[in-house]
Amino acid sequence: MMRQIVWKEWRENRWKYGALWLVFNLPILALSVLLGVSRAARTPFADLSNQTFMKYLPLPVFESAAIVTVFLFATGFLGLTTFLPEVEDKSVFFLFEQPLARWRYALAKIANGAGHVALAALAASLLAPAAVYGLMLLGGKVTVAASGAAFGVVMAAALRAGLWSALVSIAAFAGCALIGSVVPRWWLATIATFVFIICLMNRVLSSSRFLGAADFFDLFASAPQGSYNVSGNFGTANWLTVSGNLPLPTDFVHWHLLPTLTPVALLCLFAAAIAWVFQRKELR
């Protein structure tokens, strides 16, 4: 059964999955184009040495931050556009006419989409620092022997960040998949998706617990004491405010458990809701 669903989802949505990969890797792509085009941009890379490379190497770990913030819109819209069309044109009823329980189909569809999303998030999170390190090596003055260990540390942080951003992305995907299954109109669903993603993003950023477990702030955990306050403004409207205290709590519950469980709990909630929605659907 799963093979059929995976095949169907791939054939139906492959361009959308491709678009997601493209969006996630835009920073690295932009950087590559920039380096290819501009000598001024290449200069800092050429100047890097084994002593100075750590100024820049940790930065790509913020790819994960991008995935759980601005790129969350892309993930959300992937969720929406892989569920809404099938419900809207009623082709979901062709699936309901197979000897396959509706809730099984719902879970298979979600699992397949979540798999694609997680893979894209993880790959992008790992690709960013790896690509930057590669470019540094190309510069000639940075050597693997001297910088390899530090690279390993950065990659470990990137892996943890990637895993967590994958979890948050899956939760975003599932939430918008639910919107797509329930809201019958495109314009209404789009607005709902926007609102949901902004709320999720706000939640992610404003919770110091999330920040703590984000682990890509691992590298800043030893920062000086104090509080921070960051606002996002769109014109005169303040749509995002993030604040908290440094250093960040690093106990197991706050650093690992809660932030992992929260997106998983959201995923389970959304998946159950979608299964229930499919079960109740009627062909009018």
Partner 1 sequence: MNAIETHALTRVFGKTRAVDAASLAVPAGTVFGLLGANGAGKSTLLKLLTGHLRPTNGTISVLGEAVSGPRPALWERMGYVAQSRYLPGWMTGIECLRFAGALHRGWDGGKAEGLARRLDFPLNARIRDLSRGHYVRLQIALAMGHNPELILLDEPTSGLDPVGRHELLGILVEEIGRRGCTVVISSHLVEDIERLADTVAIMEAGRIVACGPVDTVKSEAANGAATVSLEQAFFTYINRRQS
Q: Which residues bind partner 1 (CB under 8 A)?
A: 1, 3-4, 7-8, 11-12, 86, 89-91, 93-94, 96-102, 279, 282-284
Question: Measured from the CB atom, is 91 or 233 closer to partner 1?
Answer: 91
Say if CB 205 and CB 252 are below 8 A apart.
no
Shortest distance, CB of residue 82 to partner 1, whole angstroms?
A: 13
Say if CB 255 and CB 91 are below 8 A apart.
no
Question: Measured from the CB atom, is 241 or 279 closer to partner 1?
Answer: 279
Do you find a cis peptide bond into 247, omega within 30 degrees of 0? yes
Shortest distance, CB of residue 183 to partner 1, whole angstroms?
A: 19
Question: Measured from the CB atom, is 39 or 284 closer to partner 1?
Answer: 284
Say if CB 232 and CB 240 are below 8 A apart.
yes
Shortest distance, CB of residue 187 to partner 1, whole angstroms?
A: 22
Euclidean distance between CA atoms 162 and 120, whole angstroms = 10
Q: Is 1 helix (H, G, I), strand (E, B) or coil?
A: coil
Question: Measured from the CB atom, is 3 or 39 closer to partner 1?
Answer: 3
Nearest to 26 by CA among 91, 73, 58, 84: 73
Euclidean distance between CA atoms 114 and 169, whole angstroms = 8
Shortest distance, CB of residue 99 to partner 1, whole angstroms?
A: 4
Question: Measured from the CB atom, is 72 or 110 closer to partner 1?
Answer: 110
Q: Is 238 helix (H, G, I), strand (E, B) or coil?
A: strand
Shortest distance, CB of residue 190 to partner 1, whole angstroms?
A: 22
Question: Measured from the CB atom, is 98 or 238 closer to partner 1?
Answer: 98
Shortest distance, CB of residue 116 to partner 1, whole angstroms?
A: 18
Shortest distance, CB of residue 64 to partner 1, whole angstroms?
A: 34
Euclidean distance between CA atoms 250 and 275, whole angstroms = 37
Question: Measured from the CB atom, is 102 or 116 closer to partner 1?
Answer: 102
Long-range contacts of 95-104 (CB under 8 A, 24+ apart): 96/278, 96/281, 96/283, 100/1, 102/275, 102/278, 102/279, 102/281, 103/275, 103/276, 103/278, 103/279, 104/1
